[in-house]
Amino acid sequence: MAKKKTAKSTSNTIALNKKARHEYFLHDKFEAGVELQGWEVKSIRAGKVNISETYIHIKNGEAFLLGSQIQPLNSASTHTVCDPMRYRKLLLNKREIDRLIGATEREGYSLVATAMYWKKCWVKLEFHLAKGKKMHDKRADTKDKDWAREKERTMKHKVR
């Protein structure tokens, strides 16, 4: 008899940037692979990654991840140099890179990382084309969220 696969309740998400939705208007979503070293993969599996201040920089036709922190494990090899803040190359198609260059240089967008996750055995980074919010935009969003929450409360009490 064949073995039955058991459903795993593990999440594929490695790290989230929750501040991005509050700080930016997020427009187009992209997904890219991340070029990592062996010690970085081990640290990511242990959950020692932070992408809260992460953004993407395009230089010489290549995209790089800046500001992400992957802390090395204590048991990491001693013959490798572990730099937790190093630039990590993103794996994108030339067409995608050209589109991102046009959006950042001509239209004034920023590239902000929002999530890092596993896709099969690969580490993927989700990032967005983003425009920064002003203080009044943030207040308006907060007001809209409060109103939606209040509306749900009133509808819940009306139904009963």
pLDDT tens sequence across 82-136: 878 888 999 999 999 999 999 888 888 889 999 999 998 899 999 999 888 787 7
Q: What is the pLDDT, as a whole number, of residue 5?
A: 57
CB-neighbour burial class of residue 136 (10 A; exposed 0-12, middle 13-18, buried 19+):
exposed
pLDDT exceeds 80 at position 42: yes
- Is the CB of residue 43 less than 8 Å from the CB of residue 71? yes
What domains does the chain contain, in order, with CATH numbers?
Answer: 14-134 (2.40.280.10)
Residue 134 CA from chain centroid, whole number: 22
Query: Lowest-confidence range among 8-17, 30-39, 51-60, 92-101?
Result: 8-17
Residue 143 tokens read as 């007001």
Closest by CA position to 90, among listed 70, 71, 66: 66
Reduced to 3 states, what is the DSSP secondary structure of residue 34?
strand
- Is the CB of residue 52 less than 8 Å from the CB of residue 17? yes
- Is the CB of residue 42 less than 8 Å from the CB of residue 143? no
What pTM was computed for the model? Answer: 0.74
Find the helix or strand (DSSP H, E) in which 94 lies.
helix 94-106
Q: What is the pLDDT, as a whole number, of residue 124?
A: 93
CA distances from 18 to 7, 8, 39, 42, 128 (A): 28, 25, 26, 24, 13
pLDDT exceeds 80 at position 81: no
In this prediction, residue 4 has a pLDDT band, given cuts at 50, 70 and 90, of: low
Q: What is the pLDDT, as a whole number, of residue 107?
A: 85
Max mean pLDDT among 1-5, 7-11, 84-88 falls in 84-88
- Is the CB of residue 27 less than 8 Å from the CB of residue 128? yes
Cα-Cα-Cα-Cα dihedral sign, residues 99, 105, 112, 76: positive
In this prediction, residue 76 has a pLDDT band, given cuts at 50, 70 and 90, of: low
